[in-house]
């Protein structure tokens, strides 16, 4: 008996889904291996580098915590993404570095995006160069004085005469243009009113 057009499409869709599920499993295994190799490269403990959950926009879900298995998200660019969190335990606090990693298998090679930079992963001993570049990007962040950083801190510190004033980035431009060293005046509040 001949199949209908719909049955033919359904069979193709099922084959596509099976292939995609197999590919996602390969990506999961690769992500787990990359984490283990990264931990070994750093000389860290397994609790120092864990996976974090990404939402559909590829942003870290703060309330989801961390996991020991990657939660994969499909990006619009053909990469499969997961998040890694590196925990730096300091004497007074814990500082976390969050990295978004995108992976894509092209023939027998893996393409890897570390945050926004694509870094060649290579094979065998070539992983050393990958991890060198990945760590250099993190080290560069901490080598840049915090008052020159934009974005991840959520504020731009502005030094006043006797104390540090925290100014949201949008107000910094207004303050700089008007020569004010503290927060910009509220345009909705007339000067002199309380």
Pair 113, 94 in one domain? yes
Pair 107, 181 in one domain? no
Question: What are the pLDDT digits (tens) for 108-159?
Answer: 888 999 998 898 887 766 688 899 999 998 898 888 776 666 655 444 444 4
Pair 131, 151 in one domain? no
Pair 74, 56 in one domain? yes
Pair 109, 177 in one domain? no
28 part of a folded domain: yes
129 part of a folded domain: yes
86 part of a folded domain: yes
Pair 137, 178 in one domain? no
Q: The whole model's pTM is what?
A: 0.70
Please state the three-class secondary structure of 139-185 as a single string. Answer: HHHHHCCHHHCCCCCCCEEEECCCCEEEECHHHHHHHHHHCCCCCCC
Pair 88, 166 in one domain? no
Pair 127, 155 in one domain? no
Pair 172, 81 in one domain? no
Separation of alpha carbons 13 and 167, rounded Å? 53
168 part of a folded domain: yes
Pair 36, 80 in one domain? yes
Q: Which two tokens stand for residue 171?
A: 């107000």
**What are the helix (H) ranges across the chain?**
5-42, 127-143, 169-178
Query: How far are the Cα atoms of 10, 57, 102, 138 from residue 115, in angstroms, in the given order?
Result: 37, 14, 8, 10
Q: What backbone phi and psi angles, to 5 degrees, belong to 23?
A: -65, -45
**What are the helix (H) ranges across 43-66?**
none
Pair 28, 48 in one domain? yes
Structural domain that includes position 168: 145-185
pLDDT 10s digit of each residue in the chain, 194 long?
A: 788 999 999 999 999 999 999 999 999 999 999 999 999 999 999 999 999 988 888 888 888 878 878 889 999 998 999 999 998 887 777 678 889 999 999 888 889 999 988 988 877 666 888 999 999 988 988 887 766 666 554 444 444 444 444 545 555 455 455 555 445 455 555 555 54
Pair 58, 70 in one domain? yes
Select from 73, 60, 66 the least CA-distant residue to 48.
66
Q: Count up the domains in the chain and report the number.
A: 2
């Amino acid at each position: 008996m001949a199949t209908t057009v719909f049955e033919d499409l359904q069979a193709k869709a099922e084959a596509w889904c099976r292939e995609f599920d197999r590919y996602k499993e390969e990506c999961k295994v690769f992500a787990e291996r990359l984490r283990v190799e990264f931990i070994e490269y750093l000389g860290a403990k397994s609790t120092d580098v864990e996976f974090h959950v990404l939402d559909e926009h590829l942003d870290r879900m703060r309330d989801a915590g961390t996991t020991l298995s990657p939660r994969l998200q499909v990006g619009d660019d053909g990469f499969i993404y997961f998040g890694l969190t590196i925990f730096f335990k300091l004497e007074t606090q814990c500082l976390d570095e969050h990295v978004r990693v995108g992976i894509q298998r092209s023939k027998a090679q893996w393409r890897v995006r570390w945050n926004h930079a694509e870094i060649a992963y290579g094979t065998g001993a070539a992983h050393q160069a990958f991890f060198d570049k990945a760590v250099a990007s993190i080290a560069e962040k901490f080598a840049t004085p915090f008052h020159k950083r934009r974005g991840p801190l959520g504020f731009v510190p502005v030094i006043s005469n006797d104390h540090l004033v925290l100014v949201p980035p949008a107000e910094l431009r207004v303050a700089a243009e008007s020569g004010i060293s503290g927060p910009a005046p509220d345009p909705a509040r007339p000067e002199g009113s309380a």
